[in-house]
Amino acid sequence: MFRIEGLANGQGDKKIQAYNYRVCLTTDPKLRIRIEKPEGYRELDHELLLRNFDAGDGRLPALIEPLEGSGSKVDWNNMHAVGSDHPGANWDYPQASYEKRREIEKEHETYIRGFLWTLSNNPRVPEAIRQQASAYGLPKDEFTDNGGWPWMIYIREARRMVSDYVMNQHDCEGKRSTPDPVALGSFGMDSHVVQHFVTESGLAQNDGVIWRVPPKPYGISYRSIIPRKGECENLFSPICLSTSHVAHGSIRMEPVFMALSQSAAIQASGARDGVGRQAAPVT
């Protein structure tokens, strides 16, 4: 990856935390579609993973969550130093055309299929991990119109609105009083890796990983889901809301988006009926 020079502290760049596909996998032989080497596979793309094993890391690089009621199905997510995240490949995604986004999604799919195949087959992977990984495959009865592969890439972070109130780390940590709260957040301020880079000593380094749990649930401001005053009318943005990178890492959970969307719907209904509330001036 490359450095972006000349940035002031607090200034944004286009680097965002990595995406992946949250694939559903199964160990049931009757349902399992074996992971094959994907078209376009390059072992070089997985060299960091293999060197990490060479260095003695014997952990399975995956966060595996059993899916309730299935018995044999799991949600496979990124974990440890080099996993199913594809850092840097998504930086252009938020402002890309639909055609370019499909290319980026395909690149992620090729990488993750290749990652899973490498875990199961490459002799540089410890044998115990090869055996464990090869027990998993895509389920025949999930995403049946796409060969068991999920249709939607896991977008952790993309475009966000900048409104009169920008939620940030101080809100998450309770260090300032959030005005007009309409939902609560509590998940950790979480960023997956943003990029790999080579240090001056020649070592590969993960950059951008954050995990810090708020001391208690915190309010999310109504003003962060509406545009700046005078910029736009009749718009709510409960998903791409006005937050810093760090705060978004905590707010970006589906239950929180649901609560914010419900609040937006209530306000929209009130506005339609002429009883919408007026947010107080920003102080």
278 pLDDT more than 70: no
Ranges of each domain in the chain: 23-146, 169-272
**Would you state the pLDDT for residue 277?**
55
Give Cβ neighbours of residue 85 (< 8 Å, ≥ 6 apart).
18, 19, 20, 78, 192, 193
pLDDT tier for residue 281 given thresholds of 50, 70 and 90:
very low
Contact present, 242 and 224 (Cβ < 8 Å): yes
**Would you state the pLDDT for residue 274?**
82
Pick from 34, 208, 39, 196: nearest CA to 109: 39
Q: Count how many Cα atoms sit within 13 Å of the Cα of residue 256 in the half-sphere of its side chain.
A: 23
Mean pLDDT of 144-168: 96
279 pLDDT more than 60: no
pLDDT digits (tens, 9 = 90+) for 92-135: 999 999 999 999 999 999 999 999 999 999 999 999 999 999 99
User: Tokens 């690089």 — which residue?
Assistant: 61
Mean pLDDT of 65-81: 92
Average pLDDT, the chain: 93
pLDDT digits (tens, 9 = 90+) for 16-33: 999 999 999 999 999 999
pLDDT digits (tens, 9 = 90+) for 44-70: 999 999 999 999 999 999 999 999 888
Mean pLDDT of 187-209: 93
Mean pLDDT of 34-43: 97
pLDDT tier for residue 276 given thresholds of 50, 70 and 90:
low
* % of residues, the chain, pLDDT over 90: 86
Q: How far apart are CA 268 and CA 234, in angstroms?
A: 8
